[in-house]
């Protein structure tokens, strides 16, 4: 008998199964609003023009080789990533209190940070994730032995942030718990705290000595403004917090499959930073030895060249504006159709996703009757909508909520 005879079948990944269902569907009006990847108005994957330029630079570089990168990644890349999230003039950078490790995209940044904390952070052993959140948060932290708990986030009645619930949980959690916070474009709700609310969250985190772990997968993609989207992280750093920030360049560079990520950490002193970095290197060596080079080289070229950096910002504006435009069009169609309920949340939410408020049985009808693929929590990726399908989508919503 096989030694694997007792291995149980794991459930299929929800998002990837949805995409498989969409691909197999032959209906001419089918729509995929399940997966969080940007699409053009023609619903095609988008290679950022600035990425094409960086590609050409890489391709024409006669000195390019395929040697290993350093264990913690290419320093010019990790430094640029840290500067991007903390700001050009961050005192923490100037004081030598920041370090970074190049990771396998945002998932790897979460995992590497989690693995470090599992080994070195003497806290309560509990990790709090928002309810709801990106499904991988639970998987990553649970697989490293953390007791994963949730803090309230989405308030279904108001279709907005459950700020009270969130603050109360931070206060009631045992000291030394880890809180995973989304600094912008919360996945899946598209609802972010206001700056005033972030200040309240920081106060509660400080009072209870909780550890802040930001997961930033959408900087610049949310508002089109890199600084605005980093505001919460910079505020916490300004307030003297030690923290981790996971960064992904999947969405804002359209480098999904290239797995370019970074984990920036901010400590109290340069000495702490040096020791922490040494442990990250030790950890990284046993996990991946050294990070992959292609995606990070693209990001490195763009972030370190003022002209390309300026062009990247324009590309970001194009992506964020298309999404904002789709929010407005969807909202307007629903209003015109006099669809029952309130729909302001569609335009108030930000980033790739919108939490529509559709319930699982309604989602089932969307898929089976209308060939529109979305997760059963009612989340849609705005990038799956276009000028040619948004009205069909709105009519389907109108039908299922009546």
Which residues form the catalytic set?
134, 215, 251
**What's the CA dihedral at 179, 185, 189, 195 to 10 degrees?**
70
Distance CA 328, CA 322 (A): 10
Cβ distance to ligand PLP smaller for residue 15 or 57: 15
Is 190 a binding residue for ligand PLP by CB under 6 A? The answer is: no
Cβ distance to ligand PLP smaller for residue 182 or 345: 182
Is 261 a binding residue for ligand PLP by CB under 6 A? The answer is: yes
Is 394 a binding residue for ligand PLP by CB under 6 A? The answer is: no
What's the min distance (Å) between Cβ of 106 and ligand PLP? 3
For ligand PLP, which stretch binds (CB under 6 A), given 18-26, 102-110, 222-230, 387-395?
102-110
Distance CA 48, CA 54 (A): 10
Is 248 a binding residue for ligand PLP by CB under 6 A? The answer is: yes
Residue nearest to ligand PLP (CB): 106
The H-or-E segment that residue 180 falls in is strand 178-181
Cβ distance to ligand PLP smaller for residue 134 or 373: 134
Among 22, 33, 36, 252, binds ligand PLP (CB under 6 A): 36
Cβ distance to ligand PLP smaller for residue 138 or 395: 138
Is 220 a binding residue for ligand PLP by CB under 6 A? The answer is: no
With tokens 């948004």, the residue in question is 390
Distance CA 113, CA 144 (A): 11
Cβ distance to ligand PLP smaller for residue 315 or 381: 381
Is 32 a binding residue for ligand PLP by CB under 6 A? The answer is: no
Q: Contact, 78 vs 101, CB < 8 A?
A: yes
Please report which residue ranges of 176-305 form alpha helices under DSSP H: 195-207, 226-229, 231-238, 270-287, 294-303
Is 169 a binding residue for ligand PLP by CB under 6 A? The answer is: no
Paired with 98 in beta bridges are: 266
Distance CA 89, CA 70 (A): 26
What's the min distance (Å) between Cβ of 161 and ligand PLP? 16
Distance CA 317, CA 68 (A): 34
**Cα angle 28-34-38, degrees, rounded to a multiple of 5:** 90
- Footprint of ligand PLP (CB under 6 A): 36, 105-107, 134, 182, 187, 215, 217, 248, 250, 261
């Amino acid at each position: 008998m096989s030694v694997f005879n007792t291995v149980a079948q794991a459930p299929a990944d929800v998002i990837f199964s949805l995409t498989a269902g969409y691909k197999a569907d032959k209906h001419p009006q089918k729509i995929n609003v399940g997966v969080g990847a940007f699409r053009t108005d023609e619903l095609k994957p988008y290679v950022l023009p600035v990425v094409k330029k960086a590609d050409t630079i890489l391709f024409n570089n006669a000195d390019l080789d395929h040697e290993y990168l350093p264990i913690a990644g290419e320093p010019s890349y990790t430094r640029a990533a840290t500067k991007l999230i903390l700001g050009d003039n961050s005192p923490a950078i100037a004081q030598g209190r920041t370090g970074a490790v190049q990771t396998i995209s945002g998932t790897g940044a979460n995992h590497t940070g989690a693995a470090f904390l599992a080994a070195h952070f003497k806290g309560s052993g509990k990790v709090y994730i928002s309810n709801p959140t990106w499904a991988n948060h639970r998987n990553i932290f649970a697989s490293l032995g953390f007791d994963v708990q949730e803090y309230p986030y989405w308030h279904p009645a108001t279709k907005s942030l459950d700020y009270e619930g969130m603050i109360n949980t931070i206060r009631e959690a045992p000291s030394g718990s880890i809180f995973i916070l989304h600094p912008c474009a919360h996945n899946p709700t598209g609802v972010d705290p206001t700056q005033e609310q972030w200040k309240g969250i920081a106060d509660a985190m400080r009072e209870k000595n909780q550890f802040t772990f930001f997961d930033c997968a959408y900087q610049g993609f949310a508002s089109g403004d890199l600084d605005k989207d980093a505001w919460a992280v910079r505020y916490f750093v300004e307030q003297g917090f030690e923290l981790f920030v996971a960064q992904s360049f999947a969405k804002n560079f359209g480098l999904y499959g290239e797995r370019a990520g970074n984990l920036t950490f901010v400590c109290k002193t340069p000495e702490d930073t040096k020791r922490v970095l040494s442990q990250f290197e030790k950890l990284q060596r046993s996990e991946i030895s050294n990070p992959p080079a292609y995606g990070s080289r693209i990001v490195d070229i763009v972030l370190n060249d003022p002209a390309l950096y300026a062009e990247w910002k324009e590309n970001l504006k194009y992506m964020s504006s298309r999404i904002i435009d789709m929010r407005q069009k969807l909202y307007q169609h629903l209003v015109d159709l006099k669809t029952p309920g309130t729909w302001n949340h569609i335009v108030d939410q930000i980033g790739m996703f919108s939490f529509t408020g559709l319930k699982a049985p309604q989602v089932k009808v969307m898929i089976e009757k209308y060939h529109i693929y979305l997760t059963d929590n009612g989340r849609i990726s705005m990038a799956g909508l276009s000028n040619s399908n948004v009205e069909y989508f709105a009519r389907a919503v109108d039908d299922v909520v009546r």
